[in-house]
Amino acid sequence: MSAKNMLFSGFGGQGILFAGKFIAYKGLIEDKQVSWLPSYGPEMRGGTASCSVIVSDTPVGSPIVSNPDILVAMNLPSLDRFEDKVVSGGMIFADSTLIERKVERDDVKVFYIPATKMASDEKLGNLANMIIVGKLLKETGDYTEEGIRAALDKVIPAKRANMKDVNFKAIQMGAEFE
């Protein structure tokens, strides 16, 4: 791998920016070059929120991901907007609780995860984002318990330390989901 260009997208409030930040921190801890760029326009208020994350072995050029290798789509508008942008041979992770349609392309690997339902069944509140993150790490070969724990230590402030285990559980559930 030289660089993974990732795009996280969904509604505001789904933890899109947090999920991206977690992935960036995990990369940083593992001595990768990383960048994280949020959408900050009026679109964040009610429409799609998204962030570009790049994890690379070499210095990151443009931090803007227009054609992702990996797309995380947590709602239908996100999939509608970005499906065609994913590079051929790329991956799409879709929250199938909220996205009823299937991905139309056949040149990308698609993973449907009913993350919102799984989170609600397991009383994991709004951690659908981290369930998808778990699946993403598993499928990209980046799932390491040590790295995940270290990254959670970075993104969750000390005063909310009790959230670390819950986040870890969500990630684990995603990774184990077939």
Partner 1 sequence: MADKILMKGNEAIAAAAIKAGCMHYFGYPITPQTEIAAYMAKVMPKIGGTFLQAESEIAAINMVYGVASAGKRVMTSSSSPGVSLKGEGISYLAGSDLPALVVNVQRGGPGLGGIQPSQSDYFQSTRGGGHGDYHMIVLAPASVQEMAELTVKGFELADKYRVTSMVLADGTMGQMMEPVSIEDLEVKPAPEKPWATTGTQMAREHNIVNSLSLVPEELEQLNFERYDRYKVIEENETLYEEYKVDDADIVIAAFGIAARVSKNAVDEARKLGIKVGLIRPITLWPFPKAPFKKAAEHAKAFISVELNMGQMIEDVQLAIESKCPVTLCNRAGGMIPDPEQVLNSIKEVNGGIA
> Applying CB under 8 A, which residues contact partner 1?
21, 24-25, 28, 33-38, 40-42, 60-64, 66, 154
Closest C-alpha to 176, from 124, 118, 127 = 118
Of 24 and 127, which CB lies nearer to partner 1 in the complex structure?
24
Q: Given the complex with partner 1, which of 13 and 61 has the nearer CB atom?
A: 61
Question: Closest distance between partner 1 and the C-beta of residue 60, in Å?
Answer: 7
Distance CA 95, CA 134 (A): 13
Task: Tell the smallest beta-carbon distance from residue 142 to partner 1 (Å).
Answer: 17
* Contacts by 66-71, CB closer than 8 A, 24 or more apart: 67/5, 68/5, 68/6, 68/7, 69/4, 69/5, 69/6, 70/4, 70/5, 70/6, 70/7, 70/136, 70/140, 71/6, 71/7, 71/9
Pairing of strands 33-38, 70-73: unpaired
CA 124 – CA 27 distance, rounded (Å): 25
Q: Least separation, in Å, of the C-beta of 53 and partner 1? A: 9
Q: Could you give the CA distance from residue 174 to residue 160 in angstroms, rounded to a whole number?
A: 22
Smallest gap from Cβ 22 to partner 1, in A, equals 10
Closer by beta carbon to partner 1, 153 or else 176: 153
Which one, 61 or 125, has the nearer CB to partner 1?
A: 61
Would you say 3 or 76 has its CB closer to partner 1?
3
CB of 52 to partner 1, least distance (A): 8
